[in-house]
Structure 1
Amino acid sequence: MTKQFFATCPKGLEGLLKTEIESLGAVDCRETVAGVYFDGELSDAYRVCLWSRLANKVLLPLASGTIDSAEDLYELVFTLPWEDHLKSDGTLLVDFSGQSRTIRNTQFGAVKIKDAIVDKLRQHSGSRPSVDKVQPDIRVNARLSKGKLVVSLDLCGESLHRRGYRQQQGQAPLKENLAAAILLRTGWCQDEAEVALIDPMCGSGTFLIEAAMIAADIAPGLTRSRYSFENWLGHDAEAWQMLLEDARSRRLSGLARADLPEIRGYDANLQVIRAAEQNIIRAGLDDWLRVSRKELRELKRPTHKELSSGLVVTNPPYGERLGEVESMKILYAHLGERLRVEFNGWRAGIFTGNPELGKKLGMRSSRKYKFFNGSIASELLLFDIASEQFFRETSNSDSIESAVKTESEGGADVQPLSNGAQMLVNRIKKNQKALKRFLQRTKASGYRLYDADMPEYACAIDIYEGVSQSTGKPLRLVHVQEYQAPKSVDEDRAAQRFQEVQAAVPVALDVPVSQVCYKQRRRNKGSDQYEKQTDRETGESIVLTEGQAKLLVNPWPYLDTGIFLDHRPLRLKIAEQVRGKRFLNLFCYTATASVQAAVAGAKFTTSVDMSQTYLNWARSNLALNGLSESKNRLEQADCVKWLETAKGEYDIIMLDPPTFSNSKRMLDVLDVQRDHVKLIQQAMALLTNDGVLYFSNNLRGFEIDQSLFASFSVENITKSTIDEDFSRNRKIHHCWEIRHCL
């Protein structure tokens, strides 16, 4: 006997669900908001329960009517023949949604419906059913909207998206039916046999399992333990068994195919990889699917066999807070770079809750589909990964660079340099020539060119050569820091000399004035170092390459640029030693040393700093290198207080405290000369017996306390940690290698 049924689904999947239900043999399908009506036999409804990859519920409407009061609700439900659906001593559960002028509480509505069913059955047999919130014999669904009540029998019980295989999941899992919808929208296995699918951020493996079930013709409902209709008095057990036997047979045939596609998943978080493994086992797909821990930076096309085409599908994080969003821009750019380099000729489907981030991938999407991930409006971006689809974002710097170039080519007036400025030009050029071999040998892309070589021009000049973060084009930035003049120097004379510096630098280095940043060094108070130094928003961020790592530098907004160039040798020294070891970075700043350690193969890194500004910067540095925070933990804390309660063991520790700090976030003032013994002792308590602590600071007159030599093996390695570009200022920092005495 033909009945009308209603299949519910997440908002946005109605069209896909209608097509799916039609393919399963139902007729007269009609879309509505968040669902599809269809007609068919009871076996057709069972088939949708078993085979639908998209539905949440399959409901059998029993009655509907206009409701003006609670009494009307009771009477409508009471008139139904509940004896045809439930034994008088059985169990039930009522799901009620909606409200009206007289029924304002869902619990009240559910209780009134339950009372009507109980009273009807007690009138019929003299006994009454009870409520079971876990596994009721029947589940009643009631929806009140605009004064109309629809009462239905819920044939499923738990939502159909709960396949039964996923008992462990990551932090932000996709529901199984949404993952299936995304795969269907990508065209997975629809036109021809796919050869491969890869999810580089697979989480608990939902895309992988759903893709496998589509490819092998596996009914998603086979892994469920029960359906609500199985204890319903109207249940057709014979029809259900026939459907199950057919689905099991199709599953065996599908898994026996010789041409099953390669399906792999990667994630940087070992914990979620373990969860994915367990989910795959529960789905019975562990002989086929493969997952492993891998950072995004390691993403490559599989090489064990020729895979000229395939699908990369993933749901990257999209960030909710400002610092996270900024690092996510870099993560998406890195993902785009890996796709362009490794997967040319493949397709990609990127599902994101922040579609603006999709622009950072550097590829033009071929299609876009809107979805809702819960309440979050999201998009699926589809890409054909081919060179003609690649692009680079433009930025404000492009227009600035163009304007400067036009001005130069147009023959703008050039003011003659003063004798002093010309002398500075000559010195800068001389220094550049002297550093040529050093730069060729070390390939340093950030270096100090001038450091108050001429006392009357007391400034430091640093060069940053890399690529623009936003456009990927080669970029050269100059950072000029004027040292604060002593009180004995006339302010007008000091200002005049700095004007000569500003005139000399662009000429000496042949760079546009827009690519030179000028600042004055001074002793910081409190959180001054974290406060913006300029309102300029058009200055470019630049990506430097140091060793194997990429590091983000921006000289414009803050006093410091995001990297301490003088620590380059120490960072690279740590990178040489850190493979397979545990690294702790105290007073980590933007965590450049941690990034070097992680890229070089550290077992894990922990970076601690008090500034959220710099930790957000560190997060961007990690994303820039395709590194996750699962193995590279960032902790916002006062390092002094953190050390008092810290636990764990580390093989290499970097301790680089500021000379002085009285930030409002600190409970006390930090003075490195006074406090270094305690800091070192606390840090050494976290160091393994054969580990090494690198302690450094930049207090010019610093003297290490001799008591430390009695407790530890202490070696001054300052000379070996200062490169040639800082040779004019050998007191730029002090550095010691400290070990436990064996």
Structure 2
Amino acid sequence: MAGELNFFATASKGLEPLLAEELETLQAQDVRQVRGGVRFNGSLETAYRVCLWSRLAGRVLLPVVETPVTDSESLYRAVAAFAWEEHFDVSNTFAVDCNLASSQLTHSRYAALKTKDAVVDRFRDHCGVRPDVVVDQPDWRLNVWILKDVLTLSLDLSGDSLHRRGYRTQGGKAPLKEHLAAALLLRAGWPQKAAVGAPLVDPMCGSGTLVLEAALMAGDCAPGLKRDYMGFLHWRQHDADLWNRLRDEAVQRREQGLQTVPRLVGYDQNPSAIKNAWDNAANAGLQDKVHFERRELSSFGDEPISAQPGLIITNPPYGERLGEVEELMGLYQLLGQRVREHFLHWQLSVFTSGNQFGHQLEMRARKKHQFFNGALKCQLLHFEVEPEHFYRETVSLPHGLAEVEELSDGAEMFVNRLRKNLKKLRRWAKRQHVTCYRVYDADLPDYAVAIDLYEGAAHVQEYQAPSTVDTRQARRRLREIITVLPDELGIAADQVYVKTRKRQRGSEQYERQAEQGSFFEISEGGNWFLVNLSDYLDTGLFLDHRQTRELIRSLTQGKHFLNLFAYTASVSVYAADGGARSTTSVDMSTTYTEWARKNLKINGFDGPQHQVIRADCLQWIKECNEKYDVIFLDPPTFSNSKKMAGNFDIQRDHVDLIYSVADLLTPGGVLIFSNNLRNFKMDRDQLADLVIEDITRQTIPEDFSRRRNIHNCWKIEWR
């Protein structure tokens, strides 16, 4: 049959993408994934190559008829109209496979029987005799597929599923099909590892399918070369010379490829499985290229396999009943233990069902691939056997970090600096009646954290390390910090909370970091505030604004006060405590406005004169018609939150913002403007209509004196 033909390669569920990639390497054209397989175009040689070389395809079909059918009679007529006698001899046996979907014909066996009758009658009418039907390995096989009342009749060129390579005579319990084993090896990157001579081992090999498929791949062996049965061998349009040439080419490639096969090993505790594996290896002609051995999993790794790290890939049992599942938990734990102890720097790929087993390996999977083993949904888990991926001993503390056993010299320096700070700050805090304050702020560059003491708890903010810093070293330093803090601060270990601080974009500053709901009350300046050390990046109270809050309290007696970008309204609480006639707090976060209301309420300021408004501050300012005597403005450095009308940059936009807010002041009113952009430059020339006094230094508390650029602050009035 000359010219370009249309073909369809069937695939097991989940293998379609891999099959499409494979067909392209086999010179197939116009490759298209569809339900149940992959369509492709090519010559007869293309189809022969797929039958010979595909490791993933089920069957290779050549569609010969496509027509609508609505009932058994129209099906019969469509099948009987095709000239089957031109394709096969009447002496050839045949069989019919039939599948239906969204069809008015609802019984596949009846449709297959009707198709068989039509083929038989066609031969009887044109040849005088009828062919015989044989179910197992007929001379040719007809595939019937009816989808939405459209019939596709195809010749099954493979004749039988291509996963049957011809080498496996015995399988273990629930053996892995060869094409699925090949797919697992491809997803595990075995061809690339084999190309550089890396070894492979399966510690629970069963009848050896994974090891043998790995050998076929590494040895450039055509998986269909050992098959003595193909569906096209009795086809009248079969090109025997072409097929023999392709087989001869495959034989030569196999002979050359098997000379460079790396070490391939399979272990199993079951002696019958090992015998089956050796028999299958002999049938595949690979008995000199693989090694199978009876070995308990508990001794896996006792004898070295190779000096070069390679691939461990295995398909452990899944377990169906509760007792089996519980027993298998121990099996997976043992596998993980042996691999971690004896196969450092290897790759481990484990094919398993469900989610309950992978965790027992006590390593973090770097990648997962989903497959179906029959109807069972499974996953292939990939692990890099490196210490940084191992689970650490379970830690029940909020931060989830394990303590270190021995402090480094750097950690000893950190402890000395912390003690020095505490000696000074504790005396100051006692005199000033301050219970929440900063005790350390990246005083040593290598220990780049800020540590705030909130009465009986510590809030540790790790500054995000630059890319030049080794992440493992940074992690160890953080573990050293949490190891020493409880004793040095005199607090319980479970009262140390750790977060990583990085530049926030959009609504990230409002997002939960955890779900512990750990709110508790602290006191400051005679007021009470709710703080949360676990769930959000910030705690609900900016400690560096302690002096700023005191300033606001001193300015608001009998005044109308406005708090913009109010956060949790701690400044509004101070204003109300200072005798403000009214307070208005505006923030766009639902979380923070609810928090603000609670802060006002626990201090007794929940009357109608104390408003909390959820709104985009920039838009609210434009629409506001009220005037205020004192305004506190503490905007973010940058925001592109979806809740805002546009993005905001404090350096770029501060002139327009300050003028807009100043327009809301009553005559003689005061605006306190603050931000935490360290290199911020006030554009005084553009703000010449305003009296601007830099009050930054007087608003920096003692506990932040080591970092005087923690924020900027100005007092602003109209001229």
| TM class, shorter-length | 0.5 to 0.7
Which residue number corresponds to residue 636 of structure 2? none
C-alpha distance 190-34 of structure 1, shift in aligned 2 (>3 A) = farther
Which residue number corresponds to residue 149 of structure 1? 151
Which residue number corresponds to residue 240 of structure 1? 243
C-alpha distance 30-101 of structure 1, shift in aligned 2 (>3 A) = closer
C-alpha distance 111-395 of structure 1, shift in aligned 2 (>3 A) = farther
Conserved in 2, the CA contact under 8 Å of 1:301 and 1:343?
no
Amino acid aligned to 1:220: P
Distance in structure 2 (CA, Å) of the matches to 1:355 and 1:225: 41
One of 173, 178, 200 as aligned partner of 1:197: 200
DSSP 3-state at the match of 1:44:
helix
- Identity within the alignment, %: 46
Which residue number corresponds to residue 108 of structure 1? 110
Deviations 1:260-313 (A, max 9, x none): 211000001111111111001101011121111101000006537x52310000
After TM superposition, the structure 1 = structure 2 runs for residues 238-387 of structure 1, keeping only pairs within 5 Å, are 238-257=241-260, 260-300=261-301, 302-303=303-304, 306-387=306-387
Distance in structure 2 (CA, Å) of the matches to 1:324 and 1:18: 37
Distance in structure 1 (CA, Å) of the matches to 2:134 and 2:298: 50
Cα deviation for residue 246 of structure 1 reads 0.2
Which residue number corresponds to residue 175 of structure 2? 173
Amino acid aligned to 1:175: K
DSSP 3-state at the match of 2:191:
coil
Cα deviation for residue 92 of structure 1 reads 1.0
After TM superposition, the structure 1 = structure 2 runs for residues 20-59 of structure 1, keeping only pairs within 5 Å, are 20-59=22-61
Cα deviation for residue 154 of structure 1 reads 0.3
Conserved in 1, the CA contact under 8 Å of 2:60 and 2:157?
yes
Which residue number corresponds to residue 221 of structure 1? 224
Which residue number corresponds to residue 390 of structure 1? 390
DSSP 3-state at the match of 1:30:
strand
Conserved in 2, the CA contact under 8 Å of 1:196 and 1:307?
no
Conserved in 1, the CA contact under 8 Å of 2:32 and 2:39?
yes
C-alpha distance 297-137 of structure 1, shift in aligned 2 (>3 A) = same
Which residue number corresponds to residue 605 of structure 1? none
Conserved in 1, the CA contact under 8 Å of 2:14 and 2:372?
yes
One of 209, 228, 253 as aligned partner of 1:206: 209
Cα deviation for residue 399 of structure 1 reads 12
Question: Which structure exhibits the higher relative contact order, with contacts defined as CA atoms closer than 8 Å and separated by 6 or more residues?
Answer: 1
Cα deviation for residue 88 of structure 1 reads 2.3
- The worse-fitting range, judged by mean Cα deviation, of 240-249 and 63-72 is 63-72
TM-score normalised to structure 1 length: 0.52
C-alpha distance 105-323 of structure 1, shift in aligned 2 (>3 A) = same
Distance in structure 1 (CA, Å) of the matches to 2:239 and 2:213: 29
Distance in structure 2 (CA, Å) of the matches to 1:101 and 1:62: 20
Cα deviation for residue 212 of structure 1 reads 0.3
Which residue number corresponds to residue 80 of structure 1? 82
After TM superposition, the structure 1 = structure 2 runs for residues 643-722 of structure 1, keeping only pairs within 5 Å, are none
Conserved in 2, the CA contact under 8 Å of 1:67 and 1:148?
yes
Distance in structure 1 (CA, Å) of the matches to 2:104 and 2:204: 49
Distance in structure 2 (CA, Å) of the matches to 1:220 and 1:96: 27
Amino acid aligned to 1:229: F
Distance in structure 2 (CA, Å) of the matches to 1:133 and 1:296: 42
Distance in structure 2 (CA, Å) of the matches to 1:308 and 1:360: 26
Cα deviation for residue 355 of structure 1 reads 3.0
After TM superposition, the structure 1 = structure 2 runs for residues 350-499 of structure 1, keeping only pairs within 5 Å, are 350-392=350-392, 394=394
Conserved in 2, the CA contact under 8 Å of 1:70 and 1:102?
no
Larger Rg: 2
- The worse-fitting range, judged by mean Cα deviation, of 363-372 and 119-128 is 119-128
Cα deviation for residue 106 of structure 1 reads 1.7
Cα deviation for residue 91 of structure 1 reads 1.5
DSSP 3-state at the match of 1:241:
helix
Conserved in 1, the CA contact under 8 Å of 2:100 and 2:108?
yes
C-alpha distance 330-392 of structure 1, shift in aligned 2 (>3 A) = farther
Cα deviation for residue 79 of structure 1 reads 1.6
C-alpha distance 325-139 of structure 1, shift in aligned 2 (>3 A) = same
Cα deviation for residue 61 of structure 1 reads 0.5
Any stretches of 5+ residues in structure 2 without a counterpart? 403-719
DSSP 3-state at the match of 2:316:
coil
Any stretches of 5+ residues in structure 1 without a counterpart? 403-742
After TM superposition, the structure 1 = structure 2 runs for residues 513-528 of structure 1, keeping only pairs within 5 Å, are none
Conserved in 2, the CA contact under 8 Å of 1:336 and 1:360?
yes
Cα deviation for residue 100 of structure 1 reads 5.9
Q: How many residues align?
A: 399
Amino acid aligned to 2:253: R
C-alpha distance 389-100 of structure 1, shift in aligned 2 (>3 A) = closer
- The worse-fitting range, judged by mean Cα deviation, of 378-387 and 349-358 is 349-358
Which residue number corresponds to residue 69 of structure 2? 67
DSSP 3-state at the match of 1:355:
coil
Moved over 6 A (4+): 395-400
Distance in structure 2 (CA, Å) of the matches to 1:66 and 1:307: 62
Amino acid aligned to 2:30: D
TM-score normalised to structure 2 length: 0.54
Distance in structure 2 (CA, Å) of the matches to 1:87 and 1:189: 43
Distance in structure 1 (CA, Å) of the matches to 2:173 and 2:395: 34
Conserved in 2, the CA contact under 8 Å of 1:229 and 1:235?
yes
C-alpha distance 364-92 of structure 1, shift in aligned 2 (>3 A) = same
Cα deviation for residue 145 of structure 1 reads 2.1
Cα deviation for residue 103 of structure 1 reads 2.5
C-alpha distance 108-344 of structure 1, shift in aligned 2 (>3 A) = same
After TM superposition, the structure 1 = structure 2 runs for residues 12-27 of structure 1, keeping only pairs within 5 Å, are 12-27=14-29
Conserved in 2, the CA contact under 8 Å of 1:362 and 1:393?
no
Distance in structure 2 (CA, Å) of the matches to 1:90 and 1:309: 53
Cα deviation for residue 132 of structure 1 reads 1.5
